[in-house]
Amino acid sequence: MPSRAFAVASCLSFAALLSAGTSAALELPLPPEGEDIVGQIQVIKAKYEDTFAAIGETHDLGYLELVAANPGVDPWLPGEGTDIILPTRFILPPGPREGIVINIAEYRLYYYPQGKNVVHTFPLGIGREGWGSPVGNTRISAMTSNPAWYPPQSIRDEHAADGDPLPTVVPPGPDNPLGPYKMSLALPGYLIHGSNKKFGIGMRVSHGCFRMLNHNVLELAKMVKVGTPVRIVDEPYKFGVSEGKVYLEAHAPLEDGEQKTLTLMDKHAVVINTLLKRDEAAGKLHLDWEMVREIIAGEDGLPIQIAEQRTEVAVHEEQLF
């Protein structure tokens, strides 16, 4: 059976054909009903002055997803002429395709505008260890242009302990960490907002809020309104169907200090449970278990084929271990 490396190489041989003329804006047409994959992987040549942070800002990608998709490449000095994989092919998160869906495991937001057959997707900074971002269903409760920041006492205490005391209010402007726009969620204390720092998008950097590139938050603010539903999920392993084939996309699971590190067997168990739940009505699947193992170990965020859909071969859990 072909290896994951072969599968990735096959994707990239096609991606190279797309590299010259593909738009960076991640507004993508939705797939046909019953399918789950949008976009195409792209490849660019790095310039001398490029960094992953700068490439991410240009192409609406987060820092860690670029690192995961480009193992062995120096994110601070990729080198003139180095091929850089842009992981701009996505399996859509499970569940209803409406409003805003945030998958914290992939540091990414999806927005489905009502009545339009497209999805917009943007990279996010999420809550760092000890300040994890929430999971659940909520909505946008308020929208504010050029917001002031009123740091809560917990954050003021943290900064004071580090010798960096904060004022009670930070006015709008270039020093404001909320950037040019904030969208309050109906979860008290949580926001979707811009930033006065470009670095950190696509990383665990915030106190639980969802941080966006400024041009992204302004674009999103033009499309959503108060009351827009927001669904926040934690799905490191996404499965999707495209043209009768089943794909797996794996991201590194989020783990905090007291949470034990997941072993490879733990991850295998999560994958099989998720897959069986995802495709319980789709018939039995004949899975390429060796490919599944490689994808889970690689955690590169690229959708890779693992099965043909609706075959009549039973899934046996013992094959995974």
Kindly report the CATH number assigned to the domain that includes residue 28.
3.10.350.10
pLDDT tens, 292-317?
889 988 999 999 998 886 544 444 44
Catalytic pick among 193, 207, 251, 268: 193
User: Residue 8 has which token pair?
Assistant: 């990735």
CA end-to-end distance (rounded Å), the chain = 17
pTM of the model: 0.85
User: HEC states along 286-304?
Assistant: EECHHHHHHHHHHCCCCCE
Which of 178, 199, 233 is at the close of a domain?
233
List the helix and strand counts (H, then E) for the chain: 7, 19
β-sheet bridge partners, residue 183? 143, 192
Verify that 35 and 107 share a domain, yes or no.
no
Tell me the C-alpha distance between 313 and 284, whole Å: 6
Verify that 111 and 166 share a domain, yes or no.
yes
Q: How far is CA 215 from CA 42, 77, 224, in A?
A: 22, 25, 15
Is 209 catalytic? The answer is yes
pLDDT tens, 113-147?
999 999 999 999 998 766 678 899 999 999 999 99
Q: Which domain holds residue 45?
A: 4-91
Is 193 catalytic? The answer is yes
pLDDT tens, 161-208?
777 677 677 788 888 889 999 999 999 889 999 998 877 898 888 767
Tell me the C-alpha distance between 122 and 60, whole Å: 6
85: three-class secondary structure by DSSP: strand
CATH number at residue 188: 2.40.440.10
Q: How many domains does the chain have?
A: 3
Which of 183, 214, 233 is at the close of a domain?
233
Q: Rounded mean pLDDT of 12-34? A: 66
The one-letter amino acid code at 186 reads A
Verify that 167 and 213 share a domain, yes or no.
yes
Which of 30, 65, 91 is at the close of a domain?
91
The one-letter amino acid code at 158 reads E
Verify that 52 and 114 share a domain, yes or no.
no
The helix (H) or strand (E) run that includes residue 153 is: helix 153-161
DSSP state of 32: P
Q: CA angle at residue 207 from 234 to 229, to 5 degrees?
A: 50
DSSP state of 170: B
Contact 207, 106 (CB under 8 A): no
pLDDT level of residue 260 (50, 70, 90 thresholds): low
Verify that 221 and 123 share a domain, yes or no.
yes
Verify that 227 and 300 share a domain, yes or no.
no
Verify that 24 and 143 share a domain, yes or no.
no
Tell me the C-alpha distance between 251 and 292, whole Å: 13
DSSP state of 149: B
Q: For the chain, state the CA radius of gyration.
A: 20
